[in-house]
Amino acid sequence: MDGHSTHSTAPIRSRSSQSPSPSHSASASVGSSIHKRKLASDDQVPPFPLSYSETRDGAHTSNDDLESISARGVDSDSDEESEEVVDEEEEDNESMRVFTTARLENNVNLRNKKLKTENSTIKNESSNLLETGKENRGPISTTTGSIPAPVNNGGGSISGIVVKEDTVKSIFTENLQTSGAYSTREESLKKEEEAGRLKFVCYANDGIDEHMIWLIGLKNIFARQLPNMPKEYIVRLVMDRSHKSVMVIRHNQVVGGITYRPYISQKFGEIAFLAITADEQVKGYGTRLMNHLKQHARDVDGLTHFLTYADNNAVGYFNKQGFTKEINLDKAIWQGYIKDYDGGILMECKIDPKLPYTDLWTMIRRQRQAIDEKIRELSNCHIVYPGIDFQKTMHDHPDSWPFKEPVDGRDVPDYYDIIKDPMDMRTMSKRLESEQYYVTFEMFVADVKRMFANARTYNSPDTIYYKCATRLENFFSLKVQTGIQASGKVQQ
């Protein structure tokens, strides 16, 4: 089904006007980076559809599913004025309880047993939260079961394009220097993926128990990281069958994800929610997640663009992921399909038809290497000269004694009247030791030449000072010449 008719009759995409409950504000202390945006205030709370409603891309959403997953009705939450964080956690537990009851009661005992263990992971996570005020602290020791790897049924595990590994250096510090933080983080996360410790999966509400558990985990992260967003609304979109969620799973725990709605016929997707759990932010997960999302949305959904209302605080992150405030996508394609948020800025990202998003870092590294090679062809800036040992070269020479210290104006009263730009070896030593002053070899040579020129300006040719200056300068020039020739040989 296509067009706006569905939009007007089944407002699944509308966003509620529900003002954030105090519980959402209370949880603002939980995360290091809390999402401030909320739904536009003039919107109405969209009712759950009365029955299965067909969405534009043909997906179905069941009222019963949503209601059974949501712990409380929309009204109950919107009326509450003084909810505590504890209530929020209780709601999560309650949500899990209703979810498991609705979903799992018909399963065989063995299956139930297994899922109970899995649920205890999430429940333990909640109780852990009550104690620590933080979320998703990694695997919990009491957990004995593990959630089986999700099945790739078209939207499952996302794999990147394989790139030859031989160009990839493995030493972290070396990579940081040669490739920058982006590539280093991406490379290390890719290694985690290959080792099976990290995975990126994409699921919708497909009724498969394991997938539902992941989605509930993601919903919990959104609820805490986006405190101004009504939780029912989060549940609704995450569980809406026309939405998909790309999730980061580390050690079998959800640590973040993106929920988006692909508008297949219009070839664009709307990112509804995005969050990484507080403990794991700014470690590169958000970037890698976005790269997996782009690759999946392009290769599986056939999308060419993403739109999102980015929270003001997250605009910097979206910029770094290639989103701009300039919207190039024809308004007719998206207007009416996506919903305004207060405190959000509409941003767009064009998905490149060819880029290997999950292996961008190898491209960046290769481009960097190619540029380095070109610079080497065109300039000598990469050449590091062996260096001249200033102390040994000059200080030990028998003619250096007149130049070792600055001229004392008390001994030579008119010296500084005649020599306006004095120089001596002590001053040059200090400049050398600072490692800041002589940024080029030429600057060093200029100081040496000035020192000798000063000596010959102030003193007449028959003086010892004049003669010392000439002999020491000849010696120095010879050393420089020899040094340059030697470094030329080193390069060959």
Q: Kindly report the CA angle at 288 between 287 and 290, in degrees rounded to 5?
A: 65
Residue from 30, 223, 276, 423 touching ligand ACO (CB under 6 A): that is 276
Q: 């969209």: which residue's tokens?
A: 46
CA-closest candidate to residue 149, choices 232, 230, 247: 247
- Closest CB 390 distance from ligand ACO, rounded Å: 40
Residue from 118, 125, 187, 311 touching ligand ACO (CB under 6 A): that is 311
Residue from 317, 444, 466, 476 touching ligand ACO (CB under 6 A): that is 317
User: Is residue 314 part of the contact set for ligand ACO (CB under 6 A)?
Assistant: yes
User: Is residue 103 part of the contact set for ligand ACO (CB under 6 A)?
Assistant: no
- Alpha carbon 387 to its chain's center: 40
User: Is residue 275 part of the contact set for ligand ACO (CB under 6 A)?
Assistant: yes
Between residues 268 and 273, which has the closer beta carbon with respect to ligand ACO? 273
User: Is residue 227 part of the contact set for ligand ACO (CB under 6 A)?
Assistant: no
Indicate if 442 belongs to the active site. Answer: no
- Closest CB 340 distance from ligand ACO, rounded Å: 13
Residue from 35, 190, 224, 261 touching ligand ACO (CB under 6 A): that is 35
Marked catalytic residue, from 193, 270, 280, 473 = 270
**How deeply is 118 buried, as exposed, middle or buried, from its count of CB atoms within 10 A (0-12, 13-18, 19+)?**
buried
User: Is residue 285 part of the contact set for ligand ACO (CB under 6 A)?
Assistant: yes
Stretch of 81-89, 207-215, 282-290, 449-457 lying at the interface with ligand ACO (CB under 6 A)? 282-290
Between residues 114 and 288, which has the closer beta carbon with respect to ligand ACO? 288
User: Is residue 224 part of the contact set for ligand ACO (CB under 6 A)?
Assistant: no
Residue from 178, 182, 437, 459 touching ligand ACO (CB under 6 A): that is 182
> Is 34 within 8 Å of 225 (Cβ atoms)?
yes
Between residues 114 and 185, which has the closer beta carbon with respect to ligand ACO? 185
- Closest CB 327 distance from ligand ACO, rounded Å: 15
Residue from 86, 161, 181, 418 touching ligand ACO (CB under 6 A): that is 181
Stretch of 12-20, 194-202, 275-283, 449-457 lying at the interface with ligand ACO (CB under 6 A)? 275-283
Between residues 142 and 173, which has the closer beta carbon with respect to ligand ACO? 173
User: Is residue 9 part of the contact set for ligand ACO (CB under 6 A)?
Assistant: no
Question: Crossing angle for the helix pair 441-458 and 425-434, nearest 10 degrees?
Answer: 170
CA-closest candidate to residue 121, choices 139, 109, 108: 139
Calculate the alpha carbon distances from 93 to 69, 70, 74, 214 in Å.
Answer: 11, 11, 17, 15
Site for ligand ACO in 388-427 (CB under 6 A): none
Residue from 284, 294, 402, 465 touching ligand ACO (CB under 6 A): that is 284
- Closest CB 234 distance from ligand ACO, rounded Å: 10
Count of residues engaged in binding ligand ACO, rule: CB under 6 A = 25
Calculate the alpha carbon distances from 388 to 298, 450, 479, 482 in Å.
Answer: 58, 18, 8, 10
Residues that bind ligand ACO (CB under 6 A): 33, 35, 181-182, 225, 271, 273-276, 281-287, 308, 310-311, 313-314, 316-317, 320
Residues designated catalytic: 270
